[in-house]
């Protein structure tokens, strides 16, 4: 027995194809059948047959390439195609090993389909027809298949001797050589070319052949031959140029190929670098998101602490009402700790200089406490000495360093100018604290009224306005303030204080009056204080 392979397969057919009957309409559906061959159960089909409408379809003969011809077995899928719905259904899937099939016979003319089960597949191969052993309804019939013959050794004779085989081989080679020469001669005759010397001098050539080869033809002219030779030379020259160009192009392609490989390597390196940077960026973004989350939490904590701080500051400032109570005894008349302090414009009319010093001492202690609670340094520092408190002017350049302290208590008419200037600086400090708390000061001269409204301010105290400059409103012009004399006795001329409720009146050295257009630091119209310790004349506009 020899082993069957896929290349030995000639044709495939089927018997007893089963139909589905439609019991509702009492009709039989029309189907067509086809099959597909696969190398494995999961591979794509290597062959698909045509579709036939028959109970016993007999498909066309098959041919396979050398790639699949060595297969000793295949997977065959039998399909049923519904003509009405155009749908396909798998009827059966079988794995067929060609050497394990059962021989049916050399022909199928007298084979009864009733011997087989439904959907039986028959394979026609070299040597006869074969099928699977499981396709028979009853017992498997035995068919005689002659694959070998047993003979008596005495009856076996040699068909050829070595000499005869050698002669047969030589004869085959001679036949092959003669056949090749005949093909060459036949080709030359068909092309109409001149006969060669070999055939011209051959005595065994037939007369007919010599006549065909020596047939007279018109001799070409010299000009035609020259033209043909020229064309041949031109063609050879072009071929040579094309070869050189081809070689040059090949070299150029090689160079470009090398460059392309280098660029590919560079691109790969850049891609790796880019991927590393991308991963680093992702890590950085993750860390950034985490830090932003932490910052948001810290920001919330800071906001809560700031809110608590602001609440505590308001509470502390409100508690100062109990320590330094300011009471409005009558319209435009306030007392601090039961001590009356008139407005700045009425300080010169006060009958009790001692009470004024005491009240200003309480004011200094109060603004110093508020400054501490708000963590806001005063623009003009103060010295808390009770009724002998002082204020310092570190801003004005023209004042000598040993005369920058201004007493906040009256010391006589000769020091009245310094006293009023000190009160003016205290009012500026109050305006600064009010501005930090979000309050504007319309009049600097109402000292206790401004403090009273600051202590009873219910809105949130913010520090955002702390960095606002006080120099954009009312200013104490440094160019208009002269240096204070080294001693108070040098002030020989009397002091003149001009008070006004609108713009200040400043008296210059010539004695003429002019109205100033400036306003105070909190946007008020409370007036401008000009301190000029001159021998001829000193003026204050409060």
Residue 239: Cβ-neighbour burial (10 angstroms; 0-12, 13-18, 19+):
exposed
pLDDT category at 493 given cuts 50, 70, 90 is very low
Least confident interval from 247-251, 252-256, 433-437, 473-477: 473-477
How do residues 43-55 score in pLDDT, each as one tens digit?
999 999 999 998 8
- pLDDT for 276 equals 95
**Res. 21: pLDDT tops 60:** no
Please compute the mean of the pLDDT values over residues 12-27 and round it to a whole number: 71
Higher pLDDT, 217 or 464: 217
CATH of 324-456, one of 3.40.50.300, 1.20.1070.10, 1.10.418.40, 3.40.50.720: 1.10.418.40
By three-state DSSP, how is residue 465 classified?
helix
Q: Which of 44-48, 98-102, 158-162, 453-457 has the weakest average pLDDT?
A: 158-162
Quote the pLDDT of residue 510. 31
Average pLDDT, the chain: 78
pTM of the model: 0.40
103 and 77 Cβ atoms separated by less than 8 Å: no
pLDDT of residue 187: 80
By C-alpha distance, which of 348, 350, 349, 321 is closest to 336? 321
Enter the DSSP assignment of 380: S
**pLDDT tens digits for 37-91?**
999 989 999 999 999 998 899 999 998 887 888 899 999 999 999 988 889 999 9
Q: pLDDT value at position 531?
A: 54
What number is the average pLDDT over the span 475-497?
33
The predicted structure's pLDDT at residue 530: 53
- What proportion of the chain, given as a percentage, has pLDDT over 90? 40
For range 301-319, the mean pLDDT = 92
What is the rounded average pLDDT of the residues 363-385?
Answer: 93
Count the Cβ atoms, other than its own, within 10 Å of residue 455. Answer: 17
State yes or no: pLDDT of 202 exceeds 60: no
So what's the pLDDT on residue 521? 39
Which of these, 342, 358, 312, lies nearest to 499 by C-alpha position? 342
Where does residue 12 rank: exposed (0-12), middle (13-18), buried (19+ CB within 10 A)? Answer: buried
User: What is the predicted pLDDT for the residue at 214?
Assistant: 57
Q: Is residue 9 scored above 50 in pLDDT? A: yes
pLDDT at 470 over 50: no
* pLDDT given for residue 414 in this prediction: 73
6-151: CATH topology is Immunoglobulin-like (2.60.40)
Q: What is the edge-to-edge ordering of all strands in the sheet holding 73-82?
A: 45-48, 31-38, 73-82, 87-97
Tens digits of residue pLDDT in 416-469: 888 899 999 999 999 999 999 889 999 888 999 999 999 887 644 444 444 433
Three-class SS state of 525: coil
pLDDT at 472 over 50: no
Domain boundaries, the chain: 6-151, 232-310, 324-456
Question: Which of 31, 222, 532, 463 lies closest to 540 in space, CA to CA?
Answer: 532
Both tokens of 114, joined, read: 């009733």
């Amino acid at each position: 027995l020899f082993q069957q392979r896929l290349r030995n397969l000639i044709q495939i057919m089927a018997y007893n194809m089963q139909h589905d009957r439609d019991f509702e309409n009492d009709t039989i559906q029309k189907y067509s059948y086809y099959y597909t061959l696969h190398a494995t159960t999961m591979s794509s089909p290597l062959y698909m047959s045509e579709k036939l409408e028959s109970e016993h379809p007999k498909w066309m003969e098959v041919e396979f390439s050398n790639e699949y011809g060595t297969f000793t077995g295949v997977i065959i899928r039998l399909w049923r195609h519904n003509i009405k719905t155009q749908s396909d259904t798998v009827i059966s899937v079988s794995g067929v090993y060609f050497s394990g099939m059962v021989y049916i016979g050399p022909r199928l003319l007298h084979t009864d389909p009733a011997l087989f089960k439904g959907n039986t597949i028959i394979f026609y191969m070299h040597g006869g027809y074969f099928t699977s052993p499981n396709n028979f309804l009853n017992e498997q019939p035995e068919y005689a298949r002659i694959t070998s013959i047993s003979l008596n050794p005495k009856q076996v004779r040699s068909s050829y001797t070595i000499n005869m085989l050698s002669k047969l081989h030589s004869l085959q080679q001679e036949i092959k050589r003669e056949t090749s020469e005949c093909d060459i001669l036949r080709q030359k005759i068909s092309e109409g070319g001149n006969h060669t010397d070999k055939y011209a001098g051959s005595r065994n050539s037939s007369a007919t052949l010599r006549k065909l080869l020596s047939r007279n033809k018109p001799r070409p002219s010299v000009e035609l031959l020259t033209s043909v030779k020229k064309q041949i030379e031109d063609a050879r020259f072009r071929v040579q140029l094309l070869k050189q160009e081809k070689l040059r192009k090949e070299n150029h392609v090689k160079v470009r190929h090398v460059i392309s490989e280098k660029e590919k390597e560079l691109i790969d390196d850049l891609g790796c670098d880019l991927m590393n940077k991308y991963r680093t960026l992702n890590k950085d973004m993750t860390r950034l998101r985490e830090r932003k989350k932490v910052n948001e939490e810290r920001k919330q904590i800071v906001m809560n602490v700031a809110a608590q701080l602001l609440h505590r500051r308001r509470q502390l400032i409100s508690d100062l009402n109990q320590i330094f109570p300011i009471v409005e005894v009558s319209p435009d008349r306030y007392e601090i700790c039961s001590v009356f302090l008139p407005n700045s414009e009425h300080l010169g009319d006060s009958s009790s200089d001692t009470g004024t010093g005491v009240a200003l001492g309480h004011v200094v202690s109060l603004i110093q406490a508020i400054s501490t609670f708000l963590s806001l340094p005063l623009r003009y520092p103060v010295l808390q000495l009770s009724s002998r408190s002082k204020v310092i002017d570190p801003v004005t350049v023209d004042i000598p360093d040993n005369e920058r302290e201004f007493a906040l208590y009256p010391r006589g008419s000769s020091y009245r100018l310094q006293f009023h200037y000190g009160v003016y600086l205290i009012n500026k400090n109050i305006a600064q604290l009010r501005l930090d708390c979000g309050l504007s000061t319309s009049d600097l001269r109402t000292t206790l009224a401004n403090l009273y409204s600051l202590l009873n301010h219910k809105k949130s105290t913010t520090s955002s306005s702390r960095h606002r400059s006080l120099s954009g409103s009312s200013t104490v012009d440094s160019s208009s303030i002269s240096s204070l004399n080294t001693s108070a006795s040098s002030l020989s001329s009397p002091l003149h204080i001009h008070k006004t409720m609108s713009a200040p009146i400043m008296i210059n050295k010539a004695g003429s009056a002019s109205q100033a257009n400036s306003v105070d630091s909190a946007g008020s119209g409370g007036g401008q204080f000009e301190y000029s310790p001159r021998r001829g004349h000193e003026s204050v506009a409060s």
